[in-house]
Amino acid sequence: MGFIKSSLFISLDGVIEKPDAWHFPYFDDQMGAVVGQLMGETDATLLGRRTYDEFASYWPTADPADPITGVMNGARKYVVSTTLTDPSWQNTTVVNGDVKAELTKIKSTTRLGTTGSATLVRGLLEQGLIDELHLLVHPIVVGHGKKLFTDGATVPLKLVDSTTFGTGVLHLVYANA
C-alpha cells in the first residue's frame, strides 16, 4: 500500500515561499537525516505545476556531480496540472481530470512524497489524501511571502510525532484526525 507524505520548510509565520532565502542557516545533519529519510521512503515525487516548472528548469541541467541531480532526474514524477500536456522532464506523468480519483489510484500502489507545492498540499489536505504532513518549522518570522495556509476549509489533524532539532527547528508530523 502506498501513501502521500508531504514535507515543507515553513517559518513561524507560515511562510513557505523562497526557503533558500531563510532556511539554510538552520539546515544541519539532523535536518538532513530527516529530509533524506523522507526522500528514501518514496517511490515517486508528487508536484504542483509551479514547483514542477521550477524544478524542471533547474534539475535537468544541474551539476551531474551533485548526487541529488541524479536522484531528481531519475525519479518518477507526477505533476498535478490542468494545463501541462507534454512534460519535458524525464519520467514525468501529468495528473489531471478527476485528480482525487487518479491520486487515490496511484497511491494505492505507490509511495508518493511532495516537495513544496503549497497549493497542491492545501487541496490534498482538504480532500483527505495526505497521509502524513511533515512541517519543518523554522524559528524565524519571514514577514512576507506565500503562506502554506490561506482561507479555506477546516481540516482537523492530529500530531503523531514531534522533534526539536538543535537549531530550534521543530519537525512536526501530522495525520488526518
Show me where the domains of the chain are located.
Answer: 3-176
pLDDT digits (tens, 9 = 90+) for 107-121: 999 999 998 888 999
**3-state secondary structure at position 54:** helix
Q: Of 74-83, 85-94, 148-157, 163-172, which gets the smallest average pLDDT?
A: 148-157
The stretch 20-45 carries a mean pLDDT of: 89
The stretch 38-56 carries a mean pLDDT of: 92
The separation between the first and the last C-alpha atoms of the chain, rounded to the nearest angstrom, is: 20
Tell me the whole-structure pTM to 2 decimals.
0.91
87 by Cβ neighbours in 10 Å (0-12 / 13-18 / 19+) ranks as middle
pLDDT digits (tens, 9 = 90+) for 76-95: 999 999 999 889 999 999 99
Which CATH superfamily includes the segment(s) 3-176?
Dihydrofolate Reductase, subunit A (3.40.430.10)
Residue 9 has pLDDT above 90, yes or no: yes
